[in-house]
């Protein structure tokens, strides 16, 4: 990696004051240092935010939780209140990376991790995300990991996070701070589609620091959620397709509310409230789940090597909703149903 300076910030104000040109915050560092070794990212300064008091998991008065930006992914996944109230989030986090990486990686950093597109990582080839205007090497190339929804002629990369797929389904809110004050970003607005600016992964502005992620109360889903991840090996691989499914089912067996978010298929976790609304007031059965899948995947288009993905995603959506409806409460075991 290139020579870089280092500063351990003592508080949020100090951290923000040092975020000048070329500086990056570092917490876990698991993605940033990897990218620096490949010269994909070349910050001139690293501002270590691990001393900031942002490593908490706290309750809100409304029955939700606040996930501090520097709390570790593992500590978040295994936290008793996360397991109890948001088993979907626990399952999604534990489906990602390895125990070592989850021990290091921060919640804020998980949101900001970059795509694992092989062309983004290869500085010898054009990539609009790495070098705007240089072109997209993935289009027409090796696209097994690439997008089938929301892609543009400039970029077909996918967002690699599992955690973010669950956060999208759970309507999380990202709280950020800058020298000018604080603001909130709805999770659906946090990550963006590539359009003609694939170099921008998120709507976070220069000079802003993620301070915490807010999870609204979601106890209605805790008994009926499932995170299904399909990948090229049984563990420690990025998703080809993943589905975060959550259902609120009434005593009459009818769906009161549904959430479905997809990973591995787009530049951001993919949600479509109009597709979820198709289930409201309907029985939770495979036929209705297939209608949701059809709506969610309307316009899905393979890039060649990943032409299998729309069909795979369709079946995965139905399967995840079936497992959610069945009430699989603790779905963190990798071999529980043999499907992931």
Partner 1 sequence: MNSTYPVRLQLNGEARHFEVEAWVTLLDLLRERAGVTGTKKGCDHGQCGACTVLVGGKRINSCLTLAVMQDGREVTTVEGLADGDQLHPIQQAFIEHDAFQCGYCTPGQLCSAIGLMNEGHASTVAEVRELMSGNICRCGAYPGIVAAVTEVMGLEQRQDNPDRPYQPGTVPA
Residues found near partner 1 in the complex (CB under 8 A):
1-6, 26, 28-30, 33-34, 36-37, 46, 48, 50, 74, 78, 97-101, 103-104, 234-236, 333-335
Q: Are 32 and 109 in contact (CB under 8 A)?
A: yes
Q: Least separation, in Å, of the C-beta of 75 and partner 1? A: 10
Q: Least separation, in Å, of the C-beta of 100 and partner 1? A: 5
> What tokens does 100 get?
């070592």
Tokens 């500085």 appear where? 123
Give, in order, the Cα–Cα distances in Å from 175 to each of 2, 57, 90.
Answer: 31, 14, 21
> What tokens does 299 get?
């316009």
β-strand 45-48 against 5-8: which pairing, if any?
A: parallel
Nearer to partner 1, 37 or 144 (CB): 37
Nearer to partner 1, 99 or 273 (CB): 99
Burial of residue 170 (number of CB atoms within 10 Å: 0-12, 13-18, 19+): buried
Q: Least separation, in Å, of the C-beta of 29 and partner 1? A: 6
Q: Least separation, in Å, of the C-beta of 99 and partner 1? A: 5
Distance CA 36, CA 34 (A): 5
Nearer to partner 1, 6 or 124 (CB): 6
Nearer to partner 1, 47 or 169 (CB): 47
Q: Least separation, in Å, of the C-beta of 1 and partner 1? A: 5
Sequence-ordered alpha helix ranges (H) in the chain: 12-17, 32-37, 73-77, 80-85, 87-94, 99-104, 107-112, 118-121, 163-169, 187-190, 273-277, 286-296, 309-325
Nearer to partner 1, 46 or 170 (CB): 46
């Amino acid at each position: 990696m290139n020579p870089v300076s280092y500063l351990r910030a003592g508080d949020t104000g100090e951290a923000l004051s040092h975020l000048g040109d070329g500086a990056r915050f570092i917490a876990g560092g698991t993605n940033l240092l990897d990218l620096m070794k490949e010269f994909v990212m070349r910050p001139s300064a690293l501002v270590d935010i691990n001393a900031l008091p942002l490593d908490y998991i706290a309750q809100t008065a409304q029955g939700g939780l606040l996930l501090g930006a520097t709390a570790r992914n593992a500590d978040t996944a295994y936290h008793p209140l996360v397991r109890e109230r948001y088993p979907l989030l626990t399952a999604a986090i534990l489906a990602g990376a390895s125990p070592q990486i989850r021990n290091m990686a921060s919640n804020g950093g998980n949101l900001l991790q970059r795509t694992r597109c092989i062309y983004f990582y290869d500085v010898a080839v054009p990539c609009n995300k790495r070098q705007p205007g240089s072109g997209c090497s993935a289009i027409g190339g090796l696209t097994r990991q690439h997008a089938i929804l929301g892609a543009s002629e400039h970029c077909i990369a996918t967002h690699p996070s599992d955690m973010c797929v669950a956060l999208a389904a759970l309507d999380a809110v990202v709280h950020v701070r800058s020298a000018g004050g604080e603001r909130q970003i709805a999770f659906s607005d946090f990550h963006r589609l590539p359009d003609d600016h694939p170099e921008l992964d998120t709507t976070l502005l220069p000079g802003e620091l993620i301070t915490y992620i807010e999870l609204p109360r979601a106890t209605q889903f805790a008994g009926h959620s499932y995170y299904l991840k399909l990948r090229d090996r049984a563990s420690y691989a990025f998703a080809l397709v993943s589905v975060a499914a959550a259902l609120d089912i009434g005593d009459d067996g009818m769906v009161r509310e549904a959430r479905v978010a997809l990973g591995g298929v787009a530049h951001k976790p993919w949600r479509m409230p109009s597709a979820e609304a198709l289930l409201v007031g309907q029985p939770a059965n495979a036929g209705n789940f297939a209608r949701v899948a059809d709506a969610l995947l309307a316009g899905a288009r393979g890039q060649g090597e990943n032409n299998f993905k729309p069909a795979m995603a369709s079946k995965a959506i139905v399967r995840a909703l079936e497992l959610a409806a069945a009430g699989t409460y603790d779905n963190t075991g990798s071999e529980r149903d043999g499907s992931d």
